[in-house]
Amino acid sequence: MDLFSTPAPESARQRVAELTRLLDHYNHEYYMNDRSLVSDYEFDALLRELVDLEHQYPELSLPTSPARRVGGEVNKTFRQVTHRFPMLSLGNTYSIEEIEEFESRTRKLLDGIPFSYTCELKYDGVAIGLTYRRGQLVQAVTRGNGAVGDDITANARTIATIPLRLQGEWPDDFEARGEVVYPFDAFEAMNRQREAVGEQPFANPRNAASGSLKLQDSAECAKRKLMFCMYFMMLPPDAPEGALPQYATHSARLATAGQMGFKVQPYIKECATIHDIKDFIDHWDRERWNLPFGIDGVVIKVNQTSLWDRLGTTAKSPRWAIAYKFKAERVSTPLIDVSYQVGRTGIVTPVANLQPVWLGGTTVRRATLNNADFIAKLGIHHGDSLLVEKGGEIIPKIVGVDLDKRPAGATPVQYATVCPVCGTTLVRPEGEAGHYCPNQDGCLPQILGHLEHFVSRRAMDIDSLGSERLRLLYDAGLVRNVADIYSLTRQSLVGLGEGTASSIQEKGADNILKALDVSKAVPFERVLFALGIRYVGEVGARKLALHFGNIDALMAATVTDLAAVEDVGEVTAVAVFDYFNNPAHRLIVERLRAAGLQMQAVDNRVGNQLQGLTIVVSGVFQHFSRDEIKASIQQHGGKASGSISGKTSYLLAGDNMGPEKRKKAEKLGVPIISESDYERMIGADGQK
């Protein structure tokens, strides 16, 4: 316990216990039994109360507290953990004959011993192992290479279907293995949100699940609605429970796990014969798209756990189980034409408009053709029929041309040369796959995209201006660029869009004006992000703001100055330079400045201990992230730089620093200091 925090009074202790009990109960009913016992509002209020109490009295914060579900723990790197029992994979096949062979081989090996199979779904996600000791989740590790994985405990704790404390009876020590999946509806909602703020959407739910588990900030992971599907209970060989009937078969183990509070999918079937197995496979091959999450096959396991040892394991996978993988569904359908979409950033994406065709549970009408290289690689001709596939992804993919159906005299599809919206000649930057419309400030989707990006939550956060209202303002001629937004008046707003859903009345106008006023306090780094400069995302904007300190220094920077900022590459440097050297953009910046937006990083200097020193940071630190330690250097008057030169005062070395940096520092005689040296330097100025 911290020396300075007061010990928790008994009343707080009791309230924490009570809140924990209530929240665990509500969670369980909601996620396991689909029953809401309280409103979201009440639930959030109780959770907030618990989070606050635990914050006030850290000694009361247990690792299994429901407060952990909201995340907040930040992992810079994930600790590598060796699996106590290797996480084997399964032999897998696309062929029913091989399933028949597996079945007859198993029967032969078991030589008359009675047994059965269980068939279950092969979840398409990320495999993890959860260690439970004395009924509590103590560790969550990804499969990794099967022997060693990443410790993702903090993120796993945020997944509602992973119990933190078990109910009823449980083995003292075991591992629950399963797959973390991203349910389709949550996946789509998240991708739509990402697109709205100009972020790259995830290609499929599996990638999204994997990316989410590797998020450094578990509070971010908590926002992703991931789900854990348990498929295996691993008992240590000497576990006394091994002999009990509720652990004697795989299906009984899963049912028992369900009673402990795991979400166990009901789609599991005990099968006696190969016919039953084939029926199960056929059924799910047809029905898979009606599930709320992705599967890529079916897993068949010998049900009696006592027979597993007898059947043994090959080098990679057990002989008592096999996976049948579904083939991606593929159809051939005529290409009607190729159209081109212009995105917020001006990127032009070719889209195949197809004769509507039924595929994997939905009607497919359109599919992306990615870019010019893709069209050329497939050799798509006008009038062709295209092969469309839907695998583990929910997004259909064009995988080829159905050459048998090519009409005589067909000519190759030529990539568009001008923007389909504004007619400007497209450009293709060297080394890039995509074509762009360069008419940033005059091409409608780009203008609207810019405006939407500017008001988005992570930028200026003006939520009373949604995309429909922005369109309204654009059509009324009131807003053509982001600076125009701050010239809006009550008079110009009231009465707009009369008779439409996005019409603006007096109250709406006041809300907009109030939100605009509030947005003037948004920090400089977010203003910079909001400008929507190509290649400048949130991180880049933060780095630029931190490095240059204010808009004037940034606007005066040369490409070389810009490229010297950590994580800002040559391409971004040129984009930033070009942006600010366009007089129209400078005018926008001046108008935004005049409107009162923040154009200066907050002066958060706390001391002058490092005045005049240039420090190069390298490696990983215990008490700071890389950004934090750089910010700290600046806050103490120093300059953080990316590369070592004769001007470098110190090389601040963390763990795993590259050998090149060390060599260079030694060669130039630059002193190397450690994180604790650094902490002493900034603390040595009488700062208490």
Give the residue numbers annotated as catalytic, written as ranges.
122
The dihedrals phi and psi of 20, each to the nearest 5 degrees, come to: -60, -45
Bridge partners of 150, per DSSP, are: 80
Nearer to ligand IVH, 302 or 563 (CB): 302
8 Å CB contact between 181 and 294: yes
Q: Which is nearer to ligand IVH, 253 or 450 (CB)?
A: 253
Q: What residues from 325 to 364 belong to the interface with ligand IVH (CB under 6 A)?
A: none
* Helix residue spans in 197-320 (DSSP H): 205-213, 218-223, 250-260, 274-287, 308-311
Cβ partners under 8 Å of residue 105, min gap 6: none
Residue 318 within binding range of ligand IVH, rule CB under 6 A: yes
d(CA 384, CA 366): 15
Part in contact with ligand IVH (CB under 6 A); list of ranges 82-90, 372-380, 468-476, 624-632: 82-90
Indicate whether 90 belongs to the interface with ligand IVH (CB under 6 A). yes
Of the candidates 120, 150, 393, 525, which one interacts with ligand IVH according to CB under 6 A? 120
CB-nearer residue toward ligand IVH: 145 or 676: 145
The secondary structure element, H or E, covering residue 47 is helix 40-56
Rounded least distance, CB 166 to ligand IVH, Å? 21
Cα separation of 474 and 15, whole Å? 53
* Distances, alpha carbon 121 to alpha carbons 104, 303, 368, 432, 451, in Å: 21, 15, 30, 40, 45
Pick from 99, 127, 190, 222: which binds ligand IVH (CB under 6 A)?
127
Q: In a 3-state reduction of DSSP, which class is residue 144?
A: coil
523 binds ligand IVH (CB under 6 A): no
Q: Which residue shows structure tokens 């006696």?
A: 272
The reply to whether 88 sits near ligand IVH by the rule CB under 6 A is yes
Which C-beta is closer to ligand IVH: that of 125 or that of 171?
125
From residue 32 to residue 71, what is the string marking binding to ligand IVH with x (rule CB under 6 A)? ----------------------------------------
Residue entry with tokens 């798509």: 380
Question: Does 175 sit near ligand IVH (CB under 6 A)?
Answer: no
The answer to whether 37 touches 29, Cβ cutoff 8 Å, is yes
Which range touches ligand IVH (CB under 6 A), out of 8-16, 88-96, 447-455, 496-504? 88-96
For residue 123, give every residue at least 6 positions away whose Cβ sits within 8 Å of its Cβ, in sequence order, or none. 178, 179, 181, 229, 231, 265, 293, 294, 295
Task: Give the chain's length.
Answer: 688
**How near is the Cβ of 287 to ligand IVH at its closest, in Å?**
16
Q: Does 257 bind ligand IVH (CB under 6 A)?
A: no
- Measure the CA dihedral 569/570/575/577, to 10°: 110
With respect to ligand IVH, which residue has the nearer C-beta, 182 or 231?
231
Is residue 578 within 8 Å of 562, Cβ to Cβ?
A: no
Q: Closer to ligand IVH by CB, 181 or 372: give it.
A: 181
Which among 103, 118, 64, 107 has a CA at the least distance from the CA of 253?
118
* Angstrom distance (rounded) from CA 160 to CA 166: 13
Binder among 123, 247, 293, 436 for ligand IVH (CB under 6 A): 123
Q: How far is the CB of 283 from ligand IVH (least distance, A)?
A: 16
Q: Which is nearer to ligand IVH, 90 or 388 (CB)?
A: 90
> Of residues 24, 54, 179, 389, which one binds ligand IVH by CB under 6 A?
179
The distance of closest approach from Cβ of residue 318 to ligand IVH in the complex, given in angstroms and rounded to an integer, is 5
Residues binding ligand IVH: what is the number (CB under 6 A)? 16
Residue placing its CB nearer to ligand IVH in the complex, 86 or 400: 86
Q: Residue number with the shortest CB distance to ligand IVH? A: 127
Q: If binding is defined by CB under 6 A, does position 299 make contact with ligand IVH?
A: yes
Sheet containing 173-181, strands listed edge to edge, beginning at the edge strand earlier in sequence: 136-142, 126-133, 173-181, 227-234
Q: Which stretch binds ligand IVH (CB under 6 A): 121-129, 410-418, 424-432, 440-448?
A: 121-129
Contact between 145 and ligand IVH by CB under 6 A: the answer reads: no
| 543 touches ligand IVH by CB under 6 A | no
Residues that bind ligand IVH (CB under 6 A): 88-90, 120-123, 127, 143, 179, 231-232, 299, 318, 321, 323
